[in-house]
Structure 1
Amino acid sequence: MSCELRSLSFDVRDPAALAAFWARVLGRDVGESGTELLPAGPSDVAIRFCRRDDVRQGLGRTHFDLTSATAAEQDSTVALALDLGASHIDVGQLPEEGHVVLADPEGNEFCVIEAGNGFLADTARIGALSCDGTRAVGLFWSEALAWPLVWDEGEETAIQSPAGGTKIAWGGPPVAAKEGLDKLRLDLVVTGDSTLDHEVERLVGLGARRLDLELEPGEVLLADPDDNEFSVVAHGSEGDARG
């Protein structure tokens, strides 16, 4: 493996406020910057909240699925989120479905999953990043991160780190139309003896494409086969150190 998942970057209008919201909901500590949630365990990654005034409104292509150990914990998570400024939203969920669909204070969808969900068993507080996406993008990310497929049926795929933790899942078509930059992206860091140039070349060979957008020194922005932006940063660069 030549790169690993370093963090999730969330483009929002008020980074400090949303970091505070998600810190309470997820039970994580906020870093010194006030806009980053520190990993809660060895299988977690940091979550960075980045200011962007023109962030697109409405639902994104990716949302968090939060796990619940008991029915009481699900109720408690929902009540806490609502008290902190979340709201119920209707995305077409059926009354008999056990999960609760909410939006955070900036309108980003997330689901609080009922206890006993087999797919999310033995994951993390964020059980899954649930994404719109094709099977091809699931296969791409499995190769890019060297995470094995833990689900591959029909057009639906999911991967998970060998260390466990959050799954990344793609629901297959129809895939939501691309409207501007994604609000949430994966940030990768080069590992081992590999170089940034070599890693970018490898990812392009797997089906990514390089984007002509300026980032921090030592950081490259790419798009995966479904046109979702992600970044790759050289280990030890300014971009890597900012976390």
Structure 2
Amino acid sequence: MIDLYYWPTPNGWKISIMLEETGLPYKLVPVNIGRGEQFKPEFLAISPNNRMPAIVDHEPLGGGEPVSVFESGAILVYLAEKTEKLLPKDVRGRFEVLQWVMWQMGGLGPMAGQAHHFRHYAPEKIQYGVDRYTNEVNRLYGVMNKRLADRDYLAGDLSIADFAAFPWVVPFENQGQKLEDFPHLKRWFEALKARPSVERGLAVGAELRQQPNMDEEAKKILFGQKARS
């Protein structure tokens, strides 16, 4: 059994989708990031960066003590290796996938998150910030669109690279983007969205999003963090 420490955000969806796709049994452990639950000592013990998602695998390969993993990209690799799915074993195929996972972790996710922040949560509108990150997300969408012009998925076959990138395209409107501007990306997005495992993964914890989460106190918790001793 895998404990999934989770809140329904793009990074959380990566892992719920992966778990649904691979069929691994898991238990949902909600971490309300708008109420500061990511700072609880028991969560920090497995996710020292105080970010979700994180997992604890109580039945790791090879047996022994439970294995905890934080960072969504690392979790995707861990689950792929555990199940021997969605990550090729040959060196060329493996790194074809891994480079796109790293591309998402270092580029698409952070830039889309900043675009969302400056467009919707910044206390005052800073046009430079809005334009800077909206345009960068547009550029990154263009990278995906070009990549997908001659293949169905980012690394050729369906892989964890697709499950890393897809959730960050789900809120494309909040990032100021139009999928119609990216026909190959749009085709890829709609194909993934139609997969039953993706549909189930996106639905995990959907009721949690109905909670009044983004009040002023939540914004202070989410956007006002500094180093804590």
Q: Give the structure-1-normalised TM-score.
A: 0.29
More helix by share: 2
More strand by share: 1
Q: Give the structure-2-normalised TM-score.
A: 0.30
Larger relative contact order (C-alpha < 8 A, sep ≥ 6)? 2
